[in-house]
Structure 1
Amino acid sequence: MEKVPAGSLVLRVTPLICLLLVFLLYTVDFGSHEALSDQWKKLRLNWAGSRTEDPIDPEQLHFLLKRLLEGKNQTQLEATGFACHSDFHTEVCVSNRPVRIDMATMKVYAPFSQGLPPANRTISPYARKDDKVAMDFVSPVQVLQGNITFPPACRYNHKVPAVVFSSGGFAENIFHEFNELMIPLFLTSRGFQAHLRFVVTDYRPSFVDKFNKILSHLSSYEVINPAADGTVHCFPAAVVGLHYHDNLAVNTTDIPEGYSMLDFRQFLRESFNLKIQYLSQTEKPVLILISRPKTRTFLNEDQMVTMMKELGFRVVIAKPDMMANLDKFAEVVNSGSVLVGAHGAGLTNEIFLPEGAVMVQVVGLALEWPSTNYYGGPGTEMGLHYLEYKIEPEESSLISLYGRDHPVITDPASIASQGYRVVRDVYLIKQNFTINISRFRNTLVKALELTGQSDPLV
C-alpha cells in the first residue's frame, strides 16, 4: 500500500474538517445566517457586560437627583453640578452632570463651575460612617473637581447614571446587609425605576449572588465590579453613597416620594415573588423558630418545640443552613404566622412576614435597648404584632458562670460602662438560655390569639 506523507494527509483532511464545521454551525447550532448573527450579538453583549441601556429623560433625571438632596445642597447642585448631603451615619454626593469613573483607582472626575477653586473630597460609600470598625472594611472613593488637564479617556459610555456604594463594612451579617445596604439602596435608587447602573466597591460575589433579586429589581443592568473591570466608564450623572434613616427604617417624611416601610416590604414581595401579603391569606398557624447553635442558644429547644406543637403550631426550625439560601428562606418566612427567636441578626427575617403576623423576641439580660430598637420598634412599622419575652436571671447561663450576686446579673449598667466590647463578650457571646416553658407558653398563647388562628380550647 502506498504510504501517504503525514503533511499531505493534514492538507487533504483539513479542508474537509473546515467544511464540516461550517455546515454544523449553520445547520445544527444556528440553522441560518440570521440565527448565527443573533448568537454573535448575544456573545458581544455578554462580553460588554450589559444589555443595551435605555436612557432616562434628562429633565426627569435632574429632578430625581435633586430630590436626593435638600435645601442649600439643591441650590449648590443646580449652580455647580455637584453637591453632598452629610449626616451622622452617611454621606451622599450627587453630580447631575457627566462624570468619568476610573474603576482601577476609584477616582470620580466630576464637573465644577469655572472660576471656583478645586474642591476634591474623599467619600466612604457605606451607611455606617459613625462606626470605625465597619469603616475599616470600606474603601474610599475620591471625587476630583476642577480643571483637570488630562482626564482619562472613556472606555465605556453609559446612558444611565451610576450609583456607587460599598459592599464592605458588616455586609456578611443579614441585619447589616438590610440595614446598611438593602434599605439604603431602596431609599436612594428606587425613584430611578431601574434606569441606573450599580458600581460596587469592595465587591463580594457572595453578596451580589445573595441579593441578586433585589439588585436586579433596582437596576436593569449588570453590576460593575471595579476591581475586575479596571477601565474608565463615563456616565451622564452619578450618586456616590447611600441614604440612611434608622435601624431597619424608612421614614416617610424624609422621602419626597412618600415611601414607607410597607412600600419597602411590597418591593421585597415583588423581588422575591412572595405570594402572601396578609396573614389572613394563610391557614394553619406556622411558627418559625430561629435556632442559634453557637451564641444565645436555646438549651432546652426540644422542650420548647414540644410545647409549641401542643399549642397547635406547625413548627419550622430554622437553622443556619436553611437561612443561608435567602431566596428560599424568604418564602418560608412569608408563609409564617409567628417568628420566634433570641435577640440577634436572624430576627431581621421578620421583614418577610405577612402583615398581621407576630414576631416574638426573647430578650436576654442587658439586651433590652438593642432588642427594642433593632427589631421591636421596626417590626411594628412593618405592620407586625410584636411581643417580648424577657428572661429571668435563672433562665440565663450567665448565673452559672458568674453567680447570682455578680454585677453581670445584678447591675448590667456597670458592665455596660466598660464599653461595647465587654458587653458583647458577656451578654452576646457567653449568654445562652434555658427557657421557663410554662412562662413562655403564656407568651405564645398571646401570639396565637393575635394571629386570630387560635383554637378556642387552648
Structure 2
Amino acid sequence: MEKEPRKLVFRATPWIFLLVLPLLYIDILWGNNIQFEQRFHYTSSSPPISSTRKAIIREPVEEKHESLDSLLSRLVKGEDQEKLKATGFACNSEVYSIHCVSNRPVRVDTRTMTVTIASNQSVRETVIRPYARQEDEVLLKRVTPVKILQGNTTLPVCQYNHEFPAVIFSSSGFVGNVFHEINEILIPLFITTRLFKSRVAFILEDYNPSFLRKYGKALSGLTSYEIINPSANQSVHCFPGAVVGLKFHGHLALNSSDIPGGLSMREFRKFLRESMNLKYSHVSQIKTPTVMLLSRRSTRRILNEDELVAMMEELGFRVLVVARAKVISNLNLFASLINSCSVFVGAHGAGLTNELFLPDGAVMVQVDLIGLEWAAATYYGNPARAMGVHYLRYKIEPEESSLLKVFGRRDHTYITDPRALPVQAGKEVYLNGQNARINITRFRETMVEAMSLVRYSPL
C-alpha cells in the first residue's frame, strides 16, 4: 500500500518561518530550473554549469546537453562523417543498406515525399527507397522512393515546426512475415533511433495500419510523438535534422562495433521486454519447465507431433502446442506466451523469429531439415547465441524426411548435396515440399539436454 506524501507543517515561531521561506523559494526555483532544462531536447552549445550543480545533477545533465549534431554524426563514419561535418549531408551506403543523414534544418513535404536541405551549393538530388535491405531489387519496388534536394533551391513554407529530428522509413517490403518485419524494420529502427532516447519523429512511408497495431508498443518505446502518415498528412514539416532510411547490421543482428556503436542484441531484447511488458527476464524465474512447440499446418510439418508431446511430458515438461494463426499474429499475446516458456521447439521457418521473446538462459531447438542447413544457422541459430539463448540443432536424417520417398534413396544427390539443385527449384523442394517424421528416441536426447540447460542455467 502506497504511503501518502509527507506534508510540510510549520510549527515554528514567525521569525523562524521568515528565515526558512527564502530557502524554500530558492529550492522551488532550483527545481523549476531543472524541470525547465529537461524540456530542452538538444542544444548546439551548452552554457557552463557551476561545480555545485554538477555535483547535484551529475551525468544526466551532460547527457541531456549532448548536441543533435553529435548524435547524428554517429550514424555515419569515416569520409561520410567528414562530409556530414563539411556539408551538412552524407549517406552511409553498404552492401545491404543505405541511409542518409542531415545535421542541418530540413523541410519534409509529405505530399511528394521530398526532403529539402538549404545550402549555398548547386542543387544535388539523391533518391533512396528507405528500407533496410537494399540488395533485393524485387522487394525494393514495393517501397516508395524519397527525393532529397540539397543546395540553393526554393524552400517550401513550413506548416509545422518541430524541435526534434525526423526519421523516414517504410513499412512496405515483406510486411506480414514476422522475420522480415523484425529483421528489416524493427531492429534497424532500434539501431538507427535508440540514441535519440525517444526524442525523434517517425515519418512512416507506405503506412500500414496492421504493422502499427502489431508493433505499436515497441514503436512507442522509440518515439514519444505521434507517427506521421504521409498519405494522410499532406503538409510541410520542418525539423532541425533528419535521417532517411535505416541502418542494417545483419540478419537478426546488432553489432556493437558497427555504427552507431555500442548496441547489442541483449540490449534490444531488454528493450522489447520493457516496451512490451514481458514478465520474465531469466529462465530461472519460470517454476515449471515449459516447452512451446510451434506447429506448422502447411509445409515443413512435424507429422508425429503427438508422439513428440508425449515424450516431452514424460521428461517433466509442460507442453504448449501453438498452431492457430490468430494467436501467432497477435504479437503482444504471442510474445507474452513465449516469454513464459523455457524451451521453444520448431521446424525452420519465420515463426522461429519469436525466439527474441524467450527469457535469457532459455533454449531454442530448431528442427533442421534437409537442404536448409545454411538458412537455419544464419537466420536463427547464430542469432540465438547472441541473444543469450541456448541453441540446440536437431539435424534430421534422410529417413525422417518426406523427401526420401520423393527421391527413392538416401544417397540421392538432391539429399546428399542440396546445392546441386537450382535456387528456385531448391526452394520448392526443401522449403515447400518437405515434411518430417521425427525419430522420438533421437529427439529425446535433445530434449534431455534442453532440460539440463534450463534447470542449471546460471544467472
Output aligned runs, 1:151-162, within 5 Å: 151-162=155-166
The match for 1:324 is 329
Partner of 1:182: helix, strand, or coil? helix
Partner of 2:296: helix, strand, or coil? coil
| 2-structure distance, mates of 1:325, 1:54 | 36
The match for 2:393 is 388
Whether 1:143 and 2:148 are equivalent positions in the alignment is yes
| 2-structure distance, mates of 1:226, 1:394 | 54
TM-score, normalised by the number of residues in structure 1: 0.84
Equivalent residue letter for 1:227: S
TM-score, normalised by the number of residues in structure 2: 0.84
Partner of 2:341: helix, strand, or coil? coil
Output aligned runs, 1:20-169, within 5 Å: 56-59=41-44, 60-112=67-119, 114=120, 116-149=121-154, 151-169=155-173
Pick the aligned partner of 1:368 from 350, 370, 373: 373
| 2-structure distance, mates of 1:67, 1:243 | 11
Output aligned runs, 1:167-316, within 5 Å: 167-316=171-320
Partner of 2:124: helix, strand, or coil? coil
- Are the counterparts in 2 of residues 261 and 381 from structure 1 also a CA contact under 8 Å? yes
The match for 1:12 is none
**Structure 1: segments with no counterpart, 5+ residues:** 1-52
- Are the counterparts in 2 of residues 95 and 111 from structure 1 also a CA contact under 8 Å? no
- Are the counterparts in 1 of residues 101 and 244 from structure 2 also a CA contact under 8 Å? yes
| 2-structure distance, mates of 1:140, 1:240 | 10
The match for 2:406 is 401
Equivalent residue letter for 1:398: L
Partner of 1:188: helix, strand, or coil? helix
Pick the aligned partner of 1:436 from 432, 435, 439: 439
Equivalent residue letter for 1:310: E
Deviation, 1:312, is 1.0
Partner of 2:169: helix, strand, or coil? strand
Deviation, 1:54, is 5.6
Partner of 1:73: helix, strand, or coil? helix
- Are the counterparts in 2 of residues 299 and 434 from structure 1 also a CA contact under 8 Å? yes
| 2-structure distance, mates of 1:99, 1:260 | 31
**Structure 2: segments with no counterpart, 5+ residues:** 1-37, 45-66
Deviation, 1:321, is 2.2
Equivalent residue letter for 1:70: K
Deviation, 1:453, is 6.6
Alpha-carbon displacement from aligned partner over 1:373-417 (angstroms, at most 9, x marks no partner): 1111110010111100011111111222332254322331211xx
Deviation, 1:422, is 1.7
Runs of 4+ more than 3 Å apart:
none
| 2-structure distance, mates of 1:230, 1:120 | 22
- Are the counterparts in 2 of residues 81 and 111 from structure 1 also a CA contact under 8 Å? no
The match for 1:25 is none
Alpha-carbon displacement from aligned partner over 1:399-454 (angstroms, at most 9, x marks no partner): 22332254322331211xx12x2221111111111111111111111111111179
1:133–1:192: structure 2 CA closer, same or farther, 3 Å change rule? same
- Are the counterparts in 1 of residues 76 and 259 from structure 2 also a CA contact under 8 Å? no
| 2-structure distance, mates of 1:342, 1:365 | 11
Partner of 2:345: helix, strand, or coil? strand
Alpha-carbon displacement from aligned partner over 1:315-361 (angstroms, at most 9, x marks no partner): 11122221111111111111111000001111111111111110000
Identity level (%)? 54
| 2-structure distance, mates of 1:277, 1:411 | 41
| 2-structure distance, mates of 1:263, 1:411 | 39
Partner of 1:328: helix, strand, or coil? helix
Partner of 2:436: helix, strand, or coil? coil
- Are the counterparts in 2 of residues 171 and 177 from structure 1 also a CA contact under 8 Å? yes
Q: Which moved more, 1:445-454 or 1:360-369?
A: 445-454
| 2-structure distance, mates of 1:336, 1:206 | 26
| 1-structure distance, mates of 2:199, 2:126 | 27
1:139–1:54: structure 2 CA closer, same or farther, 3 Å change rule? farther
Pick the aligned partner of 1:427 from 412, 430, 438: 430
1:313–1:453: structure 2 CA closer, same or farther, 3 Å change rule? farther
Alpha-carbon displacement from aligned partner over 1:230-265 (angstroms, at most 9, x marks no partner): 111111111001111111111111145512111111
Equivalent residue letter for 1:91: I
- Are the counterparts in 2 of residues 82 and 111 from structure 1 also a CA contact under 8 Å? no
Equivalent residue letter for 1:435: I
Equivalent residue letter for 1:259: L
Equivalent residue letter for 1:176: H
Deviation, 1:179, is 0.8
Equivalent residue letter for 1:183: I
Aligned length: 396
